[in-house]
Every structure is written in C-alpha cells, then in structure tokens.
Structure 1
Amino acid sequence: MSRACVLATLLPLLALAGCESSGASSRGPFVMRKPQWDYQSYDRIAVLPVQVSEKVKSALSELDREAAEEAARQATFLLEDRLAANGQFTVLPRGALDDVLSAQDAQGLATMEEPASILPAGKITEADALLVGSLEQFALKTEQSEELQPVYVRDDAGHIIRDEAGQPRLIREEVVKLHRHEARVGGRFRIIEAQTGKVLYTHAVEPILHADSQRDAPPRAKPAELAENAAKEWAEDFYVNVAPIRRQAKFKSEMLTVALDYYQGRYDETKEIPATQSEFLVVVRKLPPVCNRTRCRVTVAAARGGEYFDQDFVWSSADPVRGVAIRVPVQKLKEAGGEKFYARLYCEGEAEPVLERKFYLATGESE
C-alpha cells in the first residue's frame, strides 16, 4: 500500500529522554507531547459518533455511503479506545448520551458555527467535554491502466548495475497491466464544552490517501477497506493532537537510507552518489507503529558542518515498506563542497537526530 504524506511543521514537545539503543545509529526515545488546549480542566469526555456530512452523503452512491458510514464508525471506535487507554480522561461508555442527544444533534455539533444552540444549560451533566467529528471528504476509486516498465540488469544481490555515466543498464521494456484501489478520507474534529456549547478546540485534517496496487490482478485490499484504514489514521491524527502523549519508539539504522531511485518495487540503495546524478533519495521507512502521525524532519548536512537541505513531513504507517522518499538535488551537495555527508532524521522537534546515515558524493573515500 501507499499513502501520500502531508507536509507539516513540527510541534513542540514537553520533553524527550533517551533510552536503550538498538544499533550504532539508533535509539529509543520517550516522546511526550502536551496538547494545545486546556485538557486538564476537562476530565469526563464523551466521544460522539463521527458524522458523515450531508454534502458527502448526497454525492455518494448507496454502496459508497455505507462504506463512508462504516469508516466513520471505525474512526469513532479508534478514538474511544485511544482516549480510554491514555489515562488522562474518564471516557463515558458508548451511548451514554443517546437519551439526550440525537443523531441530528451530533451532526449539528460537528458542523454548526454556533453549536451552543444545541446544548442548553443543564442538558448534559454526565460529561465535561464532547468530542465530535465530521467526515467531510470521502472518495473511493478503482482503476486499471497499462504502463511501459523498464527491466534493468541486476547483480546476484539484486542491485541495479549502472554504466559509467551512472545510469541503470536497461535489458528491455515490457507492458504491464496495473490494478489500483484507493480511498481518500478527511474532515475535522471539535472539542465542545458540554455545559456551554463553546468550541474549545478544532482540528482539521487534509484528506488522507490509502492506496493499493498490483500487477495483472486486483489488489487484495478493497477500496472500502482502505477507507476504514484511512479513517482510523484520520482519528489517530486528532488523538495525538488532543491527548498528552508519552510513547517509546525504538529506531533501527535501516529505517533511514540513501538511494539513487526506486525501481520495480525496490530502492536502489547506495553509500555513494555519482556527481552526474541530478538528484537522489533520502528514504524513511518501517518506523515503529507508535510513530504514526508523528511530525518528522529530514536534513542533509556536510561532515564539516552546515545543513544544506531539510524537509518536514508527517509519518504515515500506511505503506511502511516504501515509506517516505524525499528527493534531494545533487547540486546541493556540490554547493556544500567536500565528499562526506550525513542524512539525519528528527522526530517531534527533538534537538538531536534519532537516526543518521553517512554517504559520499562521487568517488570520495569511505571510512
């Protein structure tokens, strides 16, 4: 599977403490994040069912509406489970407010500019705050296409063999039929003060893409299944922004690599970048599950000092094997001068990198 990653700026952390290392260039920090709302004043939380917006419903077929409703349910369940396990909040049992809030009320709370009109004083006494979500983007897609794909010469280890100019050696090109399923899910969540109807916090998420493709046969994951997973990630993104987080993640050196390109389902990994190459890849992949929706940053720095490239992204666990591939112009290395460079991965605004990968430009000597 693959999913687009949304670029984001880093959010501040309360603290980050190191723990046991799992390799020469890896470690396992505890990541702690403080939410950007007054969460400590609201102990009792009610998670209302995520609503599919009327606009989305009207644009979908009956079958796709059912898929959207199921995706919304899965988002609700994940959010309930995460908040209950967090320990900061007392999460009301599912359905605890069914007698005082209808489905229409929940829809209004999720979408109205002034939700206070739905919550007259004293109507809700069981909860301090309500969490409501509105699924506002939903699309399923199935497509087939024919593509001309190159077949390259490889050595016994499976690495692509290159010519003197650094270009892959081509055997032939072949036509392949590709089948692709995808789903896009997005929307916003709100936290509403139960006694007043005041909106305490709003969190919007750009549409999250989940996709699966396969040659010569339909992918295993159906579009509706992809939609459920995308909806769960949508809810996960909200959770990590509204609840205090303390997560341990063990990073391994192979999670950060340098490659010349991506061919036929594999990265052409390297320790040396030919000066004739126009760009190369810094690849982040297979991060621990606890890193899902974590804000990260990749930098490229010369060994003698100075960063010459950096890019932020949000890690998604949808396609951990392919991961996130960031293209870096080779010209950046030439401008820096020297032969030895480091690719570094930072997570959650940490001052020190969690991973580091050494590589060289052209025929620089290796250590």
Structure 2
Amino acid sequence: MILDIASLQVVAALGSILSGLLHFFPGMTSREPGRWPYWWGTGKIIIGVTNGVGLCFDGARLTTPERIIDVLLLVGLCLCIHAMSIFARRRPPAAILVPLAMMVTLTVPFVLFGDHDARLPVMILGGTRTLFNFAAAWMLFHIARTENIRTAWVMGAMFAASVPLFLLRTTLLLVAWGDPVWESAAQTTADWSVGIAIILVSLSHLALLLIDAERVQRGLSEQASRDCLTGALNRFGLKGLEAGLHGPVTLLLIDIDRFKALNDGQGHAAGDTVLRLLTDLAQREIGERGTLVRVGGDEFLCVLPDCDERVARGIAAGLSDRFDRAVPALVDGPCYPALSIGLAQGPVTGSLNVLIAQADGAMYAVKRQRQSRERPAWAA
C-alpha cells in the first residue's frame, strides 16, 4: 500500500497555519504573562508555511533556499517550545534544552554554509523534531500531574507517540542513504512513520487551547466551591467533598463566641480578620488530615476522615489554645472572641447531615457551659 505523504504534508501545513491564526484571537484577550497564544500561533504559522513551501523542492536539501526553509522550520519549533514552557509555567529540563540549543546553534553554519551532503540537515531536522515532541510531551504530562487535567494526558500521549516515529524515520533515512538494498524498504517504512507522526501532530495543533479551556473550567469550579474571604470550602464545595467520603468520619463544628459583638463594636474589618485568623490556624492544625469548610457566617466545619476521637480532641484543644493566644494581638478587649467546638463521629450515610447535627448539639453544649461560667468540658 502506497502512502501519499505529499497530500498529508499539504493538509498538515494548512492545519498548522489555520491553528496558528486561531491562537491570535485568544491571545488578544489573554491576561496571562508571556502571552503564550501569540508565541504558539506564530510558531505554528512558521511551521505550516515552511512545510508547505518545502513541498516545492525535491527534498534533497542541496539548494540554499531549501536550507533557509529548514532554518525557519527550526525557529518555528523553538517558538512553540517557548510558548509551551510559558503555558506549563515550567521550563523543560536541561537534558532537553542543551541538545536542542546545540542543534539550533549548529544549524546556521552547517546547514546554510556546509557542503552538499544532505545527511546533516536530515539529522538536524529529525533530531530537532524528536526533541521538540519529547519536550512537549514532558511539559504536557507535567501539567496533567500537577493540575489534574485530563486533556493534557491525551495531548501528551499524542506528542509522546510521535517521538519514536520521527526518530525511526530519521534513523532509517540515514542508514539507507545511498544503499539500494535498503533504500526501498527503508523509505517505505520511513514514509509510514512520518505519515502517522504527521497525523498525531495535526491532531494536537489545538492542544493548548483545549487544555486551557479545561484549566479555566477547573478554575471556575474551584472558585465556586471556595469561600472568597477565607479560602475554605463553602457549602457547595462540601457537597463535592461528601461524594468522596467513605467509612468513619470525625467532624469538628467550630463557632466563634461573641463574634457579633466584635462586628458591632469594632466593625466588619475586625470580624474578617478574626475569620481569616481562624481559617489559617485551623488549616495548620489539621494539616493533611482533613478539610476545613465554612458552613455559616462564623461557623466552620473540620472534616477528618479516618481520624480517631483522641486525635480529633487534640486538634480541637490545640486550635482553641492557638486562637486564644493569637486573638489579643489582633482585636481590642475587653471581651475577646473564643471558640466553642463540638465533636461528632460516625460513618458516612450518603451525606454528613446527621453527623453535622450531632456536632452542632455538642457545640451548643460547650457554649452553654461557657455561658454559665462553668469550666469548659468536651461534649460528644
């Protein structure tokens, strides 16, 4: 079966140019530093134009115009790597950047002014394409791992799959160069390799736009599930948290005593400061063991999966002590806010409503003890 490489290259060139132009529209509205859509779009346009113009030559890479096009192709690849590093917010490792910089540096003197041996430009272009796709896959997998973006896994897999294909094609062309015994079979295999690679790369032209769309969607979802003042989860976020809970769970329901008096006497700015203080102290106290949720104005919920009662009481006692010591430095007396904390423990039965009600009753029992000026005791 004969593979029409020329037709694939035409389609790939047009697709690269069109995708590059499409990136200029989000680039006009992007507020991210570095403006990655412009760099990616420009790189894709250069790659598409050079691939298209390159079809006008015989592929021997012996003429000066053809070698200039090869240099421009490398420039387009470098611009795309720069755009992806901005997008991923991380540079590729030195093991990738150093060989890539060496190839680009050697391109001008050797490709433009070298002898008429076409193996050198073939090696440089093939090696650069291989490194580019490897760097792209590395950065996309980094995005997928750190940001949990599924689209990045798919696009990273496409770039990763094209790496051995470009490497195989370059190797076959160099091995079979001038050898009539290997030339026919090697050329056929090389054509199929580059054909499949072209299809994979063409499918990934809009990779960054698709990943950016999922990134924005996840960011909006995260904002919707977080309290804008404290950064803790809100009730909407609590619903999503409930879906992932299984087995026994310990809850600590926290209420700030005399919070209304603080707001009325010193203003809402003082109240907001105390809320942020409590959030910071609570998140430090629970660490990785649980999640903090703001369920009301001055009520917070610590959700502690697989946490025994002794540890939970230690967290509550430590939080209350830290809060009592930190509040006097932030607000004026004479009556400082204090914490009433109720504890409840049990299995998750579809939702946390039953356990929250139990923790609420325990919290009010602690509050009544404080109001009656008795020595505080934990209620369960």
Both proteins in one fold, TM over 0.5: no
Higher relative CO (Cα under 8 Å, sequence separation at least 6) belongs to: 1
Q: TM-score, normalised by structure 1?
A: 0.25
Q: TM-score, normalised by structure 2?
A: 0.25
Name the one with the larger helix percent: 2
